[in-house]
């Protein structure tokens, strides 16, 4: 089996490359390194079944030879990244999705779109099931990401209906783990970095907004089960253990063993007040649920960031 993974040098994409290589697949990673890093896949570069090509997937994609699966993960994903890169984010969600679907159609390959819980926007219902249509401000700052992904879901579904492409859509909820970028601006890298370096932890707003954090190995296992399933409609993959951001900051601080203060900063516009996946569908059709609890996942992630910080200061 041969997979093309766009965004394969990013946080999630690189874990997916590892996972498929371990299972005997051939993997071609396409990435323009906009928010990823070659170091994420450096252990794979000498592997005979792995290849990395620098490619902007918003431009025509030419892949010689057969392809069995196209997995479209390319897109800035951290709010700080996509606020800095609004046009690139819209283009990779729109043109990048079109090109990768075209590749899947030409190769008669299966296709999986990495979508997001941001399709639900600032949700009016909780937990969010796949049947909820969302509450998105299309012209707000987060709209560049949310609407790109909503368009990507619509286009993926259209290719399935009009061209019969064998598609999957995963709605990924907040995921964390090793290989997140220390400076990507997301809550977890910020909090860990701040606690490790003695800076005050910055909680935005009053910290009562909630998120639900899934450890990366659980997410990748859920995605693999979805790849193997015959489900074409979106499926939520995430950890339903919901926590306020203030409590999350306190947990990270305690785990790092730090006593830095927590300071409150303005809440970014349209920041979702609550986010928690309803994973009944994944439980039912994929027989999947997360296994790694927050304590264990955070421990592994803090260990990774500790080494990164030490390497920087050394």
Hey, which residues are catalytic here? 145
Binding of residue 169 to ligand NAD (CB under 6 A):
no
Query: Do residues 12 and 73 lie in contact, with contact meaning Cβ atoms separated by under 8 Å?
Result: yes
Query: Do residues 169 and 233 lie in contact, with contact meaning Cβ atoms separated by under 8 Å?
Result: yes
Q: In what order do the strands lie in the sheet with 235-237?
A: 50-54, 26-31, 2-6, 69-72, 110-116, 167-172, 235-237
Query: Do residues 126 and 143 lie in contact, with contact meaning Cβ atoms separated by under 8 Å?
Result: no
Q: Pick the binder of ligand UDP from 271, 285, 289, 309 (CB under 6 A).
A: 271
* Contact of residue 271 among ligand NAD, ligand UDP, none (CB under 5-8 Å per partner type): ligand UDP
Using the rule CB under 6 A, give the single segment among 91-99, 127-135, 202-210, 223-231 that binds ligand UDP.
Answer: 202-210
Binding of residue 204 to ligand UDP (CB under 6 A):
yes
Query: Do residues 22 and 47 lie in contact, with contact meaning Cβ atoms separated by under 8 Å?
Result: no
Binding of residue 120 to ligand NAD (CB under 6 A):
no
Binding of residue 172 to ligand UDP (CB under 6 A):
no
Using the rule CB under 6 A, give the single segment among 29-37, 102-110, 197-205, 231-239 that binds ligand UDP.
Answer: 197-205
Q: Are strands 214-215 and 175-176 parallel, antiparallel or unpaired?
A: parallel
Q: How far is 195 from 234, CA to CA, in rounded Å?
A: 37
Binding of residue 167 to ligand NAD (CB under 6 A):
no
Binding of residue 264 to ligand UDP (CB under 6 A):
no
Tell me if residue 58 falls in helix, strand or coil: coil
Binding of residue 245 to ligand UDP (CB under 6 A):
yes
Closest separation between CB of residue 37 and ligand NAD, Å? 7
Which letter does DSSP use for residue 41 in this model? G
Q: Pick the binder of ligand UDP from 37, 268, 285, 309 (CB under 6 A).
A: 268
Binding of residue 128 to ligand NAD (CB under 6 A):
no
Q: Pick the binder of ligand NAD from 3, 6, 120, 245 (CB under 6 A).
A: 6
Token look-up 């659980």 returns 218
Q: Are strands 167-172 and 242-244 parallel, antiparallel or unpaired?
A: unpaired
- Where does this chain bind ligand NAD (CB under 6 A)? 6-7, 9-13, 30-36, 55-58, 73-77, 92, 96, 114, 116, 172, 174-175
């Amino acid at each position: 089996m041969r997979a093309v993974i766009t965004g394969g040098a990013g946080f999630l994409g690189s874990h997916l490359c590892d996972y498929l290589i371990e299972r005997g697949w051939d993997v071609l990673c396409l990435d323009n390194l906009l928010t990823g890093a070659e170091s994420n896949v450096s252990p794979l570069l000498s592997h005979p079944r792995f290849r990395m090509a620098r490619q902007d997937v918003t431009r025509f994609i030419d892949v010689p030879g057969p392809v069995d699966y196209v997995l479209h993960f390319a897109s800035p994903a951290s709010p700080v990244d996509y606020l800095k890169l609004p046009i690139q984010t819209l283009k990779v969600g729109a043109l990048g999705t079109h090109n990768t679907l075209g590749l899947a159609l030409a190769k008669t390959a299966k296709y999986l779109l990495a979508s997001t819980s941001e399709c639900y926007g600032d949700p009016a219902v909780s937990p969010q099931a796949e049947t909820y249509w969302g509450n998105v401000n299309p012209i707000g700052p987060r709209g560049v990401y949310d609407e790109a992904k909503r368009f990507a879901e619509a286009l993926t579904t259209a290719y399935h209906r009009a061209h019969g492409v064998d598609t999957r859509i995963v709605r990924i909820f907040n995921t964390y783990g090793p290989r997140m970028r220390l400076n990507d601006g997301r809550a977890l890298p910020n909090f860990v970095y701040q606690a490790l370096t003695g800076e005050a932890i910055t909680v935005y707003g009053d910290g009562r907004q909630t998120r639900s954090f899934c450890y990366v190995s659980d997410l990748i296992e859920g995605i693999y089960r979805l790849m193997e399933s015959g489900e074409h409609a979106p499926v939520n993959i995430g950890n339903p253990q919901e926590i306020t951001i203030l409590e999350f900051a306190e947990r990270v601080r305690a785990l790092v063993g730090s006593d830095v203060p927590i300071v409150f900063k303005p809440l970014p516009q349209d920041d979702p007040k609550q986010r928690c996946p309803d994973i009944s569908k994944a439980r039912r059709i994929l027989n999947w649920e997360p296994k790694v609890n927050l304590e264990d996942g955070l421990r592994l992630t803090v260990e990774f960031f500790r080494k990164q910080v030490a390497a920087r200061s050394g």
